[in-house]
Amino acid sequence: MDFADVVRARYSCRAYEDRPVEDDKLQRILEAARLAPSASNRQEWRFVVVRDAAKRQALVKVARDQAFVGQAPIVIAACAKTNGHVMSCGHRCDIIDVAIALEHIALAAANEGLGTCWIGAFFQDKAKELLGIPDDVPVIELMTLGYPADSPKPKSRLALDEIVMYDAWRS
| CATH value at residue 68 | 3.40.109.10
* 35 within a domain of the structure (yes/no): yes
- As a dihedral over the C-alpha atoms of residue 119, residue 22, residue 115, residue 19, rounded to 10 degrees, the angle is -90
pTM of the model: 0.96
Please tell me the predicted confidence (pLDDT) of residue 171: 86
136: domain range?
3-150
pLDDT surpasses 90 at 169: yes
* 165 within a domain of the structure (yes/no): no
What is the arithmetic mean of pLDDT over 127-135? 98
Radius of gyration of the CA atoms of the chain, in A? 17
* 123 within a domain of the structure (yes/no): yes
Please tell me the predicted confidence (pLDDT) of residue 98: 98
What crossing angle do the helices spanning 124-131 and 53-62 adopt, rounded to 10°? 160
* pLDDT band per the 50, 70, 90 thresholds, residue 1: confident
Cα(65)–Cα(142) distance, rounded to whole angstroms? 14
* 26 within a domain of the structure (yes/no): yes
Q: What are phi and psi of 25, to 5 degrees?
A: -65, -45
* 162 within a domain of the structure (yes/no): no
Cα(46)–Cα(98) distance, rounded to whole angstroms? 8
Residues 48, 77 contacting (CB under 8 angstroms): yes
Residues 78, 38 contacting (CB under 8 angstroms): no
The pLDDT tens digits of the residues spanning 152-161 come to 988 899 999 9
* 159 within a domain of the structure (yes/no): no
Give how many domains the chain has, as a whole number.
1
* 47 within a domain of the structure (yes/no): yes
Please tell me the predicted confidence (pLDDT) of residue 55: 98
The pLDDT tens digits of the residues spanning 51-86 come to 999 999 999 999 999 999 999 999 999 999 999 999
- The per-residue pLDDT of the chain, averaged, comes to 97
